[in-house]
């Protein structure tokens, strides 16, 4: 923010933040804070200028000239307060070769969820795991017993599903196999159920 209070700049309905270029285009060298601009598109709406922000970088996914505030879109369009957050900046890296930040570089103007997720090592965990999916055991009753029962064969068996999963302690995904090609977990959040099946196979 160049002008205006970051915490309250879009607090009131029909308030607006202009970029530097837009403010210069509309008001020249005069102070635009407190002045009214009118938007003509279907319904005519007037906004009071409450803040001036830097121009949006050309490489940003979001390109706009102004942000407006009302009850419906305040939460969507508000500017987050990043004061006190130690996130990576080129300036910090240039000053200190041993510079380390607590968070990766943050661009509040890019509305892309993936900029905070798979492309930064901060949000990645070791995905290696060891899994025993099935365990089956069976036993054929000796012929000496089945002959007395006048049957050809008796087999007792048991099947266990989702026997064991060993994974990194920081990996809290219930099913480590439910990950897409981008490394995003696509499974449910319920634990993997253990299933037990027991049966008796008799051949007459």
Give the 3-state DSSP-derived string for the chain, with helices as H, strands as E and coil as C.
Answer: CCECCCCCCCCCCCEEEEEHHHHHHHHCCCCCCCCEEEEEECEEEEEEEEEEECCCCCCCCCCCCEEEECCCCHHHHCCCCCCCCCECCHHHHHHCCCCCCCECCCCCCCCCHHHHCCCCHHHCCCCCEEEEEEEEEEEECCHHHHHHCCCCEEEEEEEEEEEEEEECCCCCCCCCCCECCCCCECCCCCCCCCEEEEEEEEEC
Q: What is the pLDDT of residue 112?
A: 47
What sign for the dihedral angle of Cα 95, 101, 105, 109?
Answer: negative
Look at the pTM and tell me if it is higher than 0.85.
no
Q: What is the pLDDT of residue 90?
A: 80
Structure tokens at 71: 């009850």
Q: What is the pLDDT of residue 74?
A: 47
**Angle at CA 89, nearest 5°, toward 85 and 95?**
115
In degrees and rounded to multiples of 5, residue 77 shows phi and psi of -100, 0
24 Cβ contact list (under 8 Å, min separation 6): none
How confident is the prediction along the chain (204 residues), in pLDDT tens digits per residue?
A: 788 887 778 777 788 888 888 888 888 988 989 898 887 665 677 888 988 988 877 766 567 777 776 544 544 544 555 667 787 788 888 888 888 887 777 655 444 444 444 455 666 778 889 999 999 999 999 999 999 999 999 999 999 999 999 988 888 888 888 887 767 788 777 888 899 999 999 998
9 Cβ contact list (under 8 Å, min separation 6): 1, 15, 17, 50, 51, 69, 79
Contact 147, 161 (CB under 8 A): no
Q: What is the pLDDT of residue 71?
A: 45
């Amino acid at each position: 923010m160049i002008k205006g209070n970051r915490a309250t700049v879009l607090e009131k309905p029909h308030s607006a933040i202009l970029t530097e270029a837009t403010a210069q285009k509309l008001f020249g060298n005069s102070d635009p804070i407190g002045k009214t601009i009118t938007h003509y598109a279907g319904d005519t709406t007037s906004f009071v200028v409450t803040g001036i922000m830097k121009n949006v970088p050309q490489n940003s996914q979001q390109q706009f000239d102004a942000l407006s505030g009302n009850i419906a879109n305040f939460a969507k369009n508000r500017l987050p307060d990043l004061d006190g957050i130690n996130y990576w900046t080129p300036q910090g890296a240039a000053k200190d070769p041993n510079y380390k930040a607590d968070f990766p570089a943050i661009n509040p103007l890019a509305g892309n969820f993936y900029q905070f997720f798979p492309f930064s090592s901060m949000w990645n965990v070791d995905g290696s795991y060891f899994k025993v999916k099935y365990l089956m055991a069976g036993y054929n009753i000796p012929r000496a017993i089945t002959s007395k029962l006048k049957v050809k064969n008796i087999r007792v068996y048991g099947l266990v599903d989702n026997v064991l999963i060993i994974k990194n302690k920081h990996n809290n995904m219930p099913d480590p196999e439910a990950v897409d090609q981008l490394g995003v977990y696509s499974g449910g959040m319920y634990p993997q159920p253990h299933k037990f099946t027991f049966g008796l196979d008799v051949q007459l």
